[in-house]
Every structure is written in structure tokens, then in C-alpha cells.
Chains A and B, each alone.
Chain A
Amino acid sequence: MTSRRKFLSSTAVFAAAAISTDALAQAVAGKGQFGASGLVGNLQGPTQSTVIPTSFKEAPQLAELVKAGKLPPVAQRLPAEPMVIKPLESVGKYGGTWRRAFIGPSDGENGNRIMASDKLLFWDFTGSKIVPSVAKSFDISADGRVTTLHLRKGMKWSDGAPFTADDFVFWFEDIYGNKDIVPAPIADMAAGGKAGKVVKVNETTVQFVFENPYFLFPSMIAGDTLIGGGQSVQQSGARSYGAYAPAHYLKQFLPKYSSEAEVSAKAKAAGFDTWVRHLHVKKDWQLNPEIPTLGPWRTTRPINTPTWVMERNPYYYAVDTDGAQLPYIDTIVMTLAENIEVANLRAMAGEYDLQERHMDLAKLPVILENRERGKYDVHLDLAYNGADTTLHVNMDYRADPLIGKLLGTADFRRALSMGIDREQLNETFWLGLATPGSTAPAEAMPENPGPEWRNKWSTLDIAAANKMLDGLGLSKKDSDGYRLRPDNGKRLVIELLAVKAFMDWPKHAEMIAQHWRKIGIYGDVKESERGLAFQRMLSGDHQLFVWTNGGTELLYLYPSWALPTDVSNGAYGVEHAKWYASEGTQGTKPSDPHMVRALELFRSAAGQQEAERHKTAQEIWKIMVDQQFHIGICGQSPALMGVRLASRRLANIPGRTCIAQHCRTPGSAHPESWFYKA
């Protein structure tokens, strides 16, 4: 496989973007026939300019409204210091409807991600550098206890009302602080176990104050976290987080500003049981076209109808380098596809203008075949997480003491890992486009422990694996060549719990089970419905769970699929997660000292400065890969949201874009800067 990978010549272009040459070569410039076809382009995207244009332009429809006196002039709608986006290729022109697919009311993330510039801070197109967004800048005190956000003066909500520090205080006191709406505080808003608070300094300055050092906080704000996710994602789907909320609009639904009886009556009249449920619908931008927002578009036809429609936000706070207010595209129309097959077929017929969500890597050959007819280009975007397919090991398996002991033994996990032929899996399921190896994040990411950890315990070595298993007292085999249990002499069976979600994991698991025959391990694939699998995992009923480790490329922001820190995820033993989350007061302490060490390192990182924090993450990754808490198969591929079909009429479309949880694919490519050439 390595021979098929070519080094990219233009790596210097990215040096400025904090990505090492090494990393980029690894991040795959060209792979076999796909490289030759130019499907994997250069990582690129729009940037921000500090030069504020002197005059501003606006879309023709808005100009007409201004003329009719229905809207204030564009200069008054923009903040004094708007965000200035330098589009990828050129400044664009207004107009057009972006046709796109969504698969139902549960697909809200589809739109949330397009609205990602309503986040307070965000990442640049490389996904490795924090940049301003709603907040024009931030600073953190030397002791790490106070993070200050500076807002844009004169910035407005989509209904024209001013957006100020009061909207933060309102969220903190009246939404987050209301036990009826948010019953339990979130970990994001606490440092060292002590809850923090939100303080207004003046109209455009707001502070997050903690009792303990919290150097990680700006990253939390930029990340896809409960506190930093932004209004669209964190105040939809009955969530109530996200650091700010439109006070002037939401007050009418809160008892504090009228009376419990009045808001309850309002809720009843609208057909809801309680005022809380009414509020959840009213503050949800996907459901309520009236809710003021900050993103480039706003909903005009809600998500729970067959078409989800968005129109430009006349008060959007960003302009291009020419002073033209963004977005360029007038309208987004998402049509309901009853299933993913239909979405893929329609995409191939050219019925969508830009679609990366729900596109199936396995259909790539057919997608390519129809390029001319559907008049679209295909781009493959490679992810940064180590493994799209990971075997997550339950370190707290109790149903069978022998299996539990084996799963808790590092050499057993290493042997399982070395018994897997990753090259074959890559060719079969990723069309050879992925990078086989451990779960460690891409070498481009600052938390990567070093290239030698890609293959550590993660290449096919049947002889070494067999030797390790023999050393564990599993040397007796039955007539079929499978190893026997030392306790009762029966065949040793290891279960792989797999779900068909965005990859066909049961099939991956079947192939792994076949590979394991050579090391005498009988792998039993248990295919399960998704909800049921997660339920089983929460009760610790699984041995190995097959899932991605997407998101772990920024370990501190999304550790769910790397360490037992999240009590809603039982992959590594929910009791261990409880132990960690409750700081040792609940659950059980992991018996493996390496796991304890990894968790201690993880906890200590929140109070560390950036450079030191990256070092800590590298330490944690070394432990995790060395100990094989999770067995990586293949990753850094376009399998999840990385197959992008873009209409040839569209311009400013990056050749390659960041696909990652924190990049809010396609958010960090700023869809508001795309436009129709014709």
C-alpha cells in the first residue's frame, strides 16, 4: 500500500497552516487510481481578512426591501467590525438555490453544520487553528481562570435586535440556571469540580470566570461542545446549552418575565403539555421560523415538513473582501429523502448542488460514472481520526470472568490486533483509500504521538500473535484449530457487537473474524439494531464494540470514543466512566494501572497551557495505543461525510476540506462564501 501513496509536491503551501510536511504526505495526496483522477485535492478554504472594506453591498432582494423602507440600509445592519471572509477563489455574485437532501427531523445536524458560523469561536479551514467567529477576539488570564470574549459592536440578531453581552447573561441565568429547563449542570462549565459563571463587563465584553485554572476553555468554546457548539446545534432538539440566547425573544416564554400561569396557558393554547416543552420548540431554529439567529441563513419552512427551507439572514455579520454581505446563495432547499439509497440515486441524477452528508463511499464507482450526466465534480475529503472502524474493548466485562480477564490483558488485545489483515479490509471496504493502523489521530494533528505509533501492535503478524496467545495459557486447540478455554475446555469465543450505521460494520466484523481463524480465535459477530446496541453497551453487556473513533482527533473536546469519561457511553465500561466523572465517589476504579494513569493525565490537562496540553495528549495516546484499549483498523478516509458531490455551477468550492467533528463539516469551508457561476 505504501508504494501507492505519493508525496505531494506543494506541501509548502500548507506550512503556514500549521500542518507539517510529514503529516501531509501521510494525509494522502494521491492514492492509486483515485490520486491520478484528482479526487483528493489540496486542503484549502476561505480565510479571514483584517482589512474592513469601506463600503458595503447587499443582495438585490434586500436592496429592494431597503428601498421600500422595510429594512435598514446594509451598513446599519452590519456590525462596526464585521467578519471579513476572503473567499477561496474570488468574490462571488448573489443568487441561486442550493438543493440538498435530508433524511428526516432527526437529521437536524445537516442544517446545524451549515449554520456553524454562529459559534463564538471556530477553526480555520485546516481544523488546527482557532479563529474568531461571532466573537471578534478572546483572551485568557495568565492564571487561566478568566476567559474574556470581545463581541462585535453593533452586531444584530436576524430580526434586527442588538446582540450583546446581555444575551449571554440571559442564557446563563434564565436558561442554563433554570432547573426546569436544564436539570443538571454541565461539565463544560466547571473547572476542577467547581462551577464557573458568566459575567457581563460591558455591552461587548463578556467573561467566563472559574475558580480553578481552565486553559482548555477557549478550545471548548471553539469545539463542538455543549458550551461552544453555537445556538443552532445547542438550542435545538430540546438542548439548552450554547452560552448565549436571544433574550428579547425568549423572555415571553419564561415564567420569570410574566407568570407561570401565563406561560402555561400559552403552551396549552399551542398544544403543548408544559411551558418547558413549548420553550424547547420556540427556541429551536429548525422548528420555529420566528426565532432570531446569527447564522448565514434562517429557517422559513421547518424541518418537520417534507422540505426544510432556509433563506438568507439580512443581518448576517460577515462580508467578503469587497464589502458584499454574505451569504451569496439566496435559499437552501432540503428535500426529504425517505432513505439513504434514494438520496444517493438523486445525487447521481444531479438533483443536489452540494451533498457530502449521506453519500456512500461504497457507491463511489457509480457516483464517478455519472459525473458527466449529473454535471457534478466529486471530491474526496479525508478525515483526521485514526480509525473509522475501531474495536472498542470493554475493560469491565463481568458476565464471563475468563473473557473479562482476557479482555483486561494487554497482550491478548495486542494479539487480536496483530491477527487482523488491515490491507484486505482497506481494499474491500475503503476501496484502498484509508490508512490502516492504530487509533492514533492523523499525523497532521497536534495531539498525534508520532508516526511510529501508527503501526504499533497494528500490523499483521500472525506468528507474534500466536506466540502471545500461547503465552497466556491458551495453547490448547480443538480439531478446527480454535483455541480452548483453560477453565472448562470449551472453545474460546470472542463476541464482536456490530451495528450497520454509516458503514456496514457487521461485514467488517465478519472479515475480522475470518482473519482471526489464523490465530485460533473464534470471533462471533453479533449484529444488532443501533439503539439496542447502545443499550447493551450501557449495561456492559458487550465484549468488543465495532464503531468509529471519529472526534478523538481532538481528544479533550471529544474523548467519548477513546477513554471512559462519558457516562452516557459504556464502550470501555460504564462503571469506570462513572468513577471518572464523579471523581471517584461513584462507580468502580479501573483495575488496569495504565487506564488509571491515562485518566489522570486527561484530568490534569484542563489546567495546562496549550503546548503542555498537546504533550499530555501525546502521552495519553502512547498509553492507549501501546495498551490497545481500542484496536484501530483503518482510518483517515472519506467514509464519513467525505464523499462530496459539488455541482459544476458552484464556485469557491475547496478541493479538499476538513472533515471532523470540530470542523462542523462543511461549516469550516464557510458555505456562505460559495456561489453559482451561472
Chain B
Amino acid sequence: MIAFVTRRLLLGLLTTWLISVLSFAIIQLPPGDFVDAYIAQLASSGSAVSAEEARSLRELYGLGQPFYVQYGKWIARVVVGDFGESMEWRRPVIEVIGDRIWLTLALSFAALIVTWTLALPIGIYSAVRQYSLADYIFTFFGFIGIAVPNFLLALVIMYFAFTLLGASVGGLFSAEMTLAPWGWEKAWDLIKHLPLPAVILALAGTAQLVRIMRANLLDELRKPYVVTARAKGLSEMRTVLKYPVRAALNPFASNLAYQFPQLISGGIIISIVLGLPTVGPLLVKSLVAKDMFLAGTIVLLLGVLTVIGTFISDLVLMWVEPRLRHQLD
């Protein structure tokens, strides 16, 4: 058991290192660097960068150096917890991400809670009452939820919120609250703005989860042990919830690995459409601007979260699935 955990840990570290090299390399793949992107950006806002300026900027950021030198400098600092300075935001990367990470997590957790509280009961109900009217209705909406891209849903909802309710569009705070210091009023403002993006973020995931839960549970419900339990006169509630549901939950545990990076980067397109101040749009912007240190750090963060997520989901799987544990022993 301990050997297994240690091996997974070491492999995780190696993977993380590979991710760091890859992420840095991928960011550098497209031709041009931050200064090119900066020049193009200024040109389109009606301003210009002289050749002298471009040269001094490149020198300033050390962009002329070969890949391995730039990577070496970066990783040496990352190891001691210094993620460098974002070229676009001209602030330490840690602060730029820090500004947004709590809101991002709040939003993602809200979405996750909505997803699970909706998906599990509906999935169980649909499986137990297969081909009932309610199952058809849930299935119908489930397919719509899967088929319609969320950003489209976001646009439609935003349109109605704007035309019917006159609601403030985009963002997690109303205009007058963005400036206010943190306090009850601001928190309440956030709570009022949170449900809409959280529900939109949750919907696609919910539909998918309902289908998975329904299919898994249907497989289990037909197994002999369920029939036996019913034959012995166990209450229906207990029959379903105690054994088959537990077994049907296994795929959720292995799914955990993907949920971790999703917490940070979930629904990038939705966040952009709704104008949410989360990490997703930050990643896209940093890639467009070729802001290497910021983009590198976010990609690295996502990689590390995937590795941690996988590690934890392995442990959880072993905990809920005795068969796996026995294989190891």
C-alpha cells in the first residue's frame, strides 16, 4: 500500500515537471513574442511602437535568449515559489491569479453543488422509474442540455435578463459594488449575481451526469443481488440506495481527476461571454498576449491540479471499491 502511494507520488512529480516543460514550450511555439503581440495590440488601438522601443522592451524581458535559458530561469524561480512578473499586467503573477482565484473557486464550487444536487436524484429516479413520463421529460431536457453549447445558453439567458429584467449584464458585482470594500453588502451583492453563471456552468455537466448515473444504475439494478434483496423483502428505498447506487457511484470517483482543473478553468467560454472576472478569461488573454510567465503559471497550475486530482481519485477509488484494494494486497 505504502509502496503504491510512494510510486504514484514520484510519478506525479515527474509528470508535473514534464508538464512544466511542455507548457512553456507550447506557449513559445507560435511565432512572435510578447513584444510582437504588444505592438499589434497598440497598432489596433491607434498607437505605435517605434523600433527603438521594441528593442528596449525585448532586452527588458530577456526575450532574445534561447528557449532553454528562458525556461531554466523561469523554473528555477518557480521551484522557490516565485512565479515571476506578468508582462501584460506588470504585477507579480501570483497577485494577478490571486485576485481572481477565490471568485473562481466560489463559482466553480457553486456550480459543482448545483450539478450534484440536481444530477444524482434525477439520475436515480430516471433509472428506477425507467420509461416513465418523468423519465422521458428528464431525458428530453437532458439531451437538450448536452446538445446546446453552454455559451449559446449563456447568450440567450443574458439576452432575456437584459431585455425582460433589465438586469446588469456580465460580471459578478453590480457597478456600484465593484469599488466597495469587502463586507456584508458586497458579499450579498455577489450572492445575488452568483446563481445565474453557476446554473449556466452547471447545466451541461448536470445533463451529462444524469445520463451516466441512469445508465450505471440500470446496469446494477438488473444484477441478481438486487433481485435477491427484493425477494427477501428489503424496502425499495433501502434496496436501491444501499447497494446499487453505491456501486454506480464508482465512475464519479474516477471522474474526480477531471473536476480539479475544472475548478480553475471551468467554462472558459462562458466566463468570457458573461464577462466574469475568473481565471479562465485570464488564461485566454495571456495566451493571446504571449504573456509567458502568466500563461505558463496557469497551465502549470492546471497540470498540477490534474495530477493531484488523479492521485486523490485513485485513493478514493480504493476506498469505495474493496476489489481494487484486494488486488494490491
Report which A residues bind B (CB closer than 8 A). 99, 104-107, 109, 181-187, 224, 226, 233, 237-240, 271-273, 276-277, 280-281, 284, 287, 304-307, 309, 333, 335-339, 341-342, 345-346, 349, 351, 373, 499, 501-502, 529-535, 547, 550-551, 558, 560, 566-569, 581, 640-641, 661
Contact = CB atoms under 8 A, between A and B. Distances in A.
A560 B89 CA distance: 27
Nearest to B37: A531
B117 interface: no
B39 A104 contact: no
Contacts of A287: 90
Contacts of A531: 30, 32, 36-37, 40-41, 288, 290
B227 to A, nearest CB: 55
Given A105-B88, A568-B50, A280 B60 contact: yes
B162 to A, nearest CB: 7
B295 to A, nearest CB: 14
Interface string B157-174: 010001000101111000
B190 to A, nearest CB: 13
B248 interface: no
Contact of A304 (B51, B89, B166): B89
A338 B275 contact: yes
Given A277-B60, A342-B275, A345-B169, A186 B52 contact: yes
B96 interface: yes
Interface centre among B91, B158, B276 (most CB of A within 10 A): B91
B44 interface: yes
A279 B222 CA distance: 72
14 contacts: A106-B289, A109-B45, A186-B52, A287-B90, A304-B90, A306-B178, A307-B179, A309-B179, A335-B178, A342-B170, A342-B171, A501-B44, A502-B45, A530-B40
Interface string B45-62: 111111111111101100
A380 to B, nearest CB: 17
Contact of A184 (B52, B90, B277): B52
B50 A226 contact: yes
Contact of B31 (A186, A535, A560): A535
B56 A184 contact: yes
B210 to A, nearest CB: 31
Contacts of A105: 88-90
A277 B85 contact: yes
B99 interface: yes
A4 B286 CA distance: 46
Interface centre among B42, B45, B99, B179 (most CB of A within 10 A): B45
Contacts of A307: 178-179
A335 B52 contact: no
B48 A558 contact: yes
B43 interface: yes
Contact of B46 (A238, A499, A661): A661
B169 A349 contact: yes
Contacts of B266: none
A338 B281 contact: yes
Given A530-B41, A531-B37, A337 B275 contact: yes
A667 to B, nearest CB: 12
A245 B224 CA distance: 84
B38 interface: yes
A84 to B, nearest CB: 30
Contacts of A336: 277
A349 B89 CA distance: 29
A578 to B, nearest CB: 9
B40 A533 contact: yes
Nearest to A236: B90
Nearest to A352: B175
Interface in B118-168: 158, 162, 166, 168
A280 B85 CA distance: 13
Contacts of A99: 175
Given A349-B169, A568-B50, A335 B175 contact: yes
B162 A338 contact: no
Given A183-B56, A233-B47, A277-B85, 9 more contacts: A184-B56, A238-B60, A342-B169, A346-B168, A346-B170, A530-B44, A531-B37, A535-B32, A641-B46
A9 B271 CA distance: 50
A349 B162 contact: yes
- What size tier do the contact residues of chain B reach? 35 or more
Contact of B32 (A271, A502, A532): A532
A349 B163 CA distance: 10
B285 interface: yes
Interface string B253-286: 0000000000000000001111111000100010
Contacts of A566: 48, 50-51
B39 A534 contact: yes
Contact of B170 (A104, A305, A337): A337
B272 A338 contact: yes
B90 A106 contact: no
A338 B168 contact: no
10 nearest A-B pairs in the assembled complex, by CB-CB distance: A342-B275, A501-B44, A184-B52, A531-B37, A338-B275, A342-B170, A530-B40, A535-B32, A304-B89, A567-B51
A532 B31 CA distance: 7
B7 to A, nearest CB: 38
Contacts of A532: 30-32
A595 to B, nearest CB: 20
A271 B175 contact: no
Contacts of A502: 44-45
Contacts of A338: 170, 271-272, 275-277, 281
B96 A345 contact: no
B46 A640 contact: yes
B12 interface: no
Contact of A551 (B32, B41, B46, B49): B46
A105 B53 CA distance: 18
Contacts of A529: 288
Contact of B52 (A107, A185, A547): A185
Contact of B91 (A273, A304, A342, A641): A304
B92 interface: yes
A481 B288 CA distance: 40
Nearest to A346: B169
Nearest to A241: B53
Interface in B86-106: 88-92, 96, 99
Nearest to B169: A345
Contacts of B274: 342
A560 B59 CA distance: 24
B56 A271 contact: no
Given A339-B275, A345-B169, A530-B40, A186 B50 contact: yes
Contacts of A568: 39, 48-51, 54
Interface centre among B37, B90, B179 (most CB of A within 10 A): B90
B40 A534 contact: yes
Contacts of B43: 534, 547
A534 B31 CA distance: 10
Interface string B288-303: 1110000000000000
Given A339-B272, A351-B168, A533-B40, A182 B56 contact: yes
B272 A183 contact: no
Nearest to B95: A304
Contacts of A341: 273
A182 B56 CA distance: 7
B37 to A, nearest CB: 4
A304 B271 contact: no
Interface centre among B50, B88, B96, B99 (most CB of A within 10 A): B50
Given A105-B90, A501-B44, A272 B85 contact: yes
A501 B44 CA distance: 6
Contacts of A337: 170, 275
Interface centre among B54, B92, B285 (most CB of A within 10 A): B285
A272 B87 CA distance: 12
Contacts of A184: 51-52, 55-56
Contacts of B175: 99, 335, 351
